[in-house]
Structure formats: C-alpha cells, structure tokens
Amino acid sequence: MLTRELIVETAMQLADADGIDKMSMRRLATELDCGVMSLYHYVADKDALIEALVDQVASEVAPPAADTPWREAAQELAAATLAAQLNHPWVISIWSMTWPGPHRFALIERLLEALAQADLPADIADLGFHALTNHIQGFAQQRLAFGQLEAQADETAGRVAAIMGSDEFPRVIDHIAFHQHDETDRDEFRFTLDLILDGLERHAS
Amino acid sequence: MLTRELIVETAMQLADADGIDKMSMRRLATELDCGVMSLYHYVADKDALIEALVDQVASEVAPPAADTPWREAAQELAAATLAAQLNHPWVISIWSMTWPGPHRFALIERLLEALAQADLPADIADLGFHALTNHIQGFAQQRLAFGQLEAQADETAGRVAAIMGSDEFPRVIDHIAFHQHDETDRDEFRFTLDLILDGLERHAS
DNA sequence: GGGACTCTAGTACGGTGTACGTAAAAGGCA
DNA sequence: TGCCTTTTACGTACACCGTACTAGAGTCCC
C-alpha cells in the first residue's frame, strides 16, 4: 500500500544514499515497485516532495527545553540544526531556498523566542536572528564544499598541488596548512557563533 | 569564429537572463548558431564552463588598494563580493561549491592579507576568514531566497497569509512584520559584518 | 445496477549532458 | 605542389529527467 509517508521515507533514503540529484521520480517508483505516475497521487510535484523532505530533516532537530537560558538555547538550536543538516548533506544547498514547513517554523519560532528573552532591542533581535541563521547556513555550506572535495580526492589533490606549487598566493598556502592538520571543526563553528552571541549581548538594553 | 571567451560570455548572458538552470548546452549552441558538440572543443564539460563563469563573476570584484587599513579592506571586499553575487544571482548557490579560479583565489588572498595586518593570533585570523566568508555566503543566500519569494509573489502571498492567520507562531509573525516595512538590507549586512570584525579585534594580540 | 470517488499506471512530449564517429578546413613541411 | 597532422565543427544516438494526459480498475454509497 502506497502512502505519502512511505514515499517521503523512501525518497529520504535515496537522497541520503546518493544525493538529491539522484532522487528522481523514476528511481523512487522503481524502489517502491510502483508506476511513476502513482506517486503523483500523493505528491503534487517533485518540488512538493522535496519540501516535505526538508521539513522531515527539520523535524530531527530537538528544540531546547523551554526554561533553557537564551544563550544556551541559541547554541543548542544552532548546533542541532547544523548536525541535522550534516546528517543529510543534500539538504544544505536547498534548506534556505525552500519555504519552511511546520517543523522548521517551530525551530524559527524557538530561536526568536530565545532572542526575545535576551533583553535586546527589537530590531537587534531581528538582526541577530539572521546573523545566527546565516552563520549556520554559511558554515554548513562550507563543510559541504569540503566534503565534496574530499569525496573527489584525486581531482582535489591535483588542484591543491597546483596552488601549493605556485607562488602566487602565499597566504592561501598557509591557510590550506591550517586546514590540513587540525580537528577544529566543532570549535570553528562555536567560535563564530560566540562572536555573534557576544556581539548581541553587548547590544542588550 | 567560436572561441572560449565568446562561449563564456554568451553563457553568462543566458545565466543572467534566465538562471543557471536554463543555461543548457543546447540553448547555448542555438544562441551561438553552432552545433552543440562544437562547444566541447573549447570546454571540457558543462561543469568546466560553469567554473569559468563563476570566476568571471569573481573578476568583477575590484580588490581594495594595498594600503587600505585592514578593517576597511575587509569591509570593502565583503561588500564588493556580495554586490557581484547579487549581480549574478545564479552564482550564489554554487559559489562555495566550485573550486576557485584565479580571480577568486586573488580575492581570498587579499582577504587573508587584510586579516594578517590585523595583528591577530594566526589561528584567530584563519577562523575569522571563515567567519567572514560564511557570513557573505549565508547573507547572499538569504537575499536570494527572498528574491525568489518575491518573484513568485502569488504563491508567497498565500503562504504568508497562512502563517499570519494561524496563531501557532506569534514571534514569526512579528518577524515578518520586521521584514515588510523596512529598507535595512545594506545595514543588515553591515550589522553582522561589524559584529564579526568587532569580535575579531577583541582577539587582537 | 449505476454513479462517484480513489488509486494505479502506460504512453508520450519535450527537455537534459555527452560519448562516439565523421568530415572538412588549415597549417606545416617535403 | 603534394602529403600529413592538427584543429575545428557537428549529426546522431543513448540514457536519463519531470510530468500532462488518459484510461482502467477497485470500492463505496444510494
């Protein structure tokens, strides 16, 4: 028996396994052992299916408890959102481009609530909201890009070697070294996150 | 006479006009009045062409003069990079996913140079570099998403109305109001940028 | 029985990137 | 001049894609 839930679930598996590009309606139908057009009885079109997928990812983020201090709540939300996105890397490049579903709206609401508890001027809170979400988005995208590079190790090795061999961009070379010998991923995320939160706190009224 | 430059230039026009999705090799060939496969003599594949396009956008960013104080240099680079991306909105979603070409490497080098002049500990400078580029990327993506929403005004109006009408997400409703009546775009970019730069300065040795 | 509604699909259209093979023209050199 | 290699051009074909249109079953209610 075909259901919308089953379709979304199977589509998620396909996307997680091979990326959103390879999640085609045809492959999905094959996987579900049904005709392609049968899917369209449960899903308006592919975009609607993808919206459902994105909100499914959002549903994996557990919002912080209601009595969590605002700064911790923001940190938890940011970390959990990042984790969910990295768990489904295909979502990163479309997350901010899709209209939020109910679960994502709940996350947005929760973050706005945390900021409301921070005693910031209203406009600073709104600006801070975007500062935080943009940071999550930008960082996730950067991590995704790095992941892609590692996935195509052969091609990347040659390109890195080309840069290291030239003397045009010495500071880039130094920066690459910074990336090659450290495990500061999580700290890097927290570093900028704290930079923003510190800055916001300084605007508290 | 077909040349790589002409191909890139025409592809840029198509992408600017209708988005990167509509820039297909077939449309490009039609536009250039040549056979599709002729293009492949000048371009390895579509990905290579897109890489060239992205670097072309990067080339539109004028790097700040060498004697510019580091903070102004960073601000100029950020603003100019954002402007170039918003000038070619299709580039935003692929910018960070494509390996940098020479022009983009020059921008990276210039930003690293600015940070090197800020008397920061080396690791803070590297972290700051990503904080800045992630901010640019995240903000551009957010602007792109808003642009798409405005482009599909009909659909968006209904969805916004649905949120405004429900009482599930009161703070989201307030936040939407914040977006609807202001012209703080540029200020919003600067706000977070300064948040980051202030934070970095506080780490100066 | 007859009608309405739900669910499942097959076929077909117009699109995509590009592998493969072919062919004409241009350039180099005897 | 004649010959050969390289450059430039491109037609065809393959394997995909999303989905509009159409139709055929099964189920329920009157």
Asked if residue B76 and residue B177 are part of one domain, the reply reads yes
CA of A43 to C1' of D21 (A): 17
Give the count of alpha carbons within 13 A of A137, CB side only. Answer: 24
> Which residue range(s) make up the domain with B157?
64-202
Give the nucleotide nearest to B26 (CA→C1').
Answer: C16
Query: How far apart are the C-alpha atoms of A54 and A107, rounded to whole Å?
Result: 13
Separation in Å, CA B66 to CA B72, B129, B136: 11, 18, 22
State, as a whole number of angstroms, the distance between the CA of B22 and the C1' of C15: 11
Is B30 found in the same domain as B119? Answer: no
A146 touching B (Cβ < 8 Å): no
| pLDDT per residue as tens digits for the range B118-145 | 999 999 999 999 999 999 999 999 999 9
In this complex, the answer to whether residue B190 has its CB under 7 A from any atom of chain D, a nucleic strand, is no
Looking at A23-37, A160-174, A185-199, B108-122, which range is the least confident one? Answer: A185-199
Residue A188 lies in a domain: yes
Q: Are residues B94 and B189 both part of a single domain? A: yes
Q: Does A159 reside within a domain? A: yes
Are residues B39 and B124 both part of a single domain? no
Structural domain contains residue A55: no
Residues B69, B155 within the same domain: yes
- Terminal Cα distance for chain A, rounded: 58
Q: Is there a contact between A199 and B200 if contact means CB atoms under 8 Å apart?
A: no
Which nt is closest to the CA of A46, judged by C1'? D18
Q: Tell me how far apart the alpha carbons of residues B118 and B116 are, in angstroms, rounded to a whole number.
A: 5
Q: Which residues of A touch B169 (CB under 8 A)?
A: 105-106, 108-109
The alpha-carbon gap from B113 to the nearest alpha carbon of chain A, in Å, equals 7
For residue B186, what pLDDT is reported? 58
What is the count of structural domains for chain B? 2
Same domain, A125 and A194: yes
Q: Could you say which residues from 44 to 103 on chain B have a Cβ atom under 8 Å away from some Cβ of chain A?
A: 93, 96-97, 99, 102
The pLDDT of residue A37 is 97
Q: Does A201 touch chain B (CB under 8 A)?
A: no
CATH number of A39's domain? 1.10.10.60
Instruction: Kindly compute the dihedral angle of the four CA atoms of residues A150, A144, A20, B52, in this order, to the nearest 10 degrees.
Output: -80
Cβ-based burial of A7 (10 A; exposed 0-12, middle 13-18, buried ≥19)? buried
Q: What is the pLDDT of residue B182?
A: 65
What percentage of chain B's residues is helix, strand, coil (to nearest 5)? Answer: 75, 0, 25
Residue B53 lies in a domain: no
Q: Indicate if CB(B38) is under 7 A from strand D.
A: yes
Q: A15 and A95 share a domain?
A: no
> In this structure, are B94 and B8 located in the same domain?
no
**B32 exposure class (CB count in 10 Å sphere: 0-12, 13-18, 19+):** middle
Shared-domain flag, residues A136 and A189: yes
Q: Are residues B33 and B124 in the same domain?
A: no
Q: What is the pLDDT of residues B14-63, one digit of tens each?
A: 999 999 999 999 999 999 999 999 999 999 999 999 999 999 999 999 99
* Nearest Cα residue in chain A from B136: A138
CATH number of the structural domain spanning residue A189: 1.10.357.10
Q: Are A93 and A148 in contact (CB under 8 A)?
A: no
Average pLDDT value for residue range A39-51: 97
Domain annotation covers residue A114: yes
pLDDT mean across residues, chain A: 95
Residue B162 lies in a domain: yes
Q: Are residues A39 and A66 in the same domain?
A: no
For residue A183, pLDDT over 70 is answered with: no
Instruction: Give A65 to chain B, closest Cα distance, Å.
Output: 17
pLDDT tens digits, residue range A80-90?
A: 999 999 999 99
Residues A18 and A93 in one domain: no
Whether residue B75 lies inside any domain: the answer is yes
Closest CA of chain A from B1, distance in Å: 31
Say if A56 falls within a structural domain. no
CB A68 within 8 A of CB A47: no
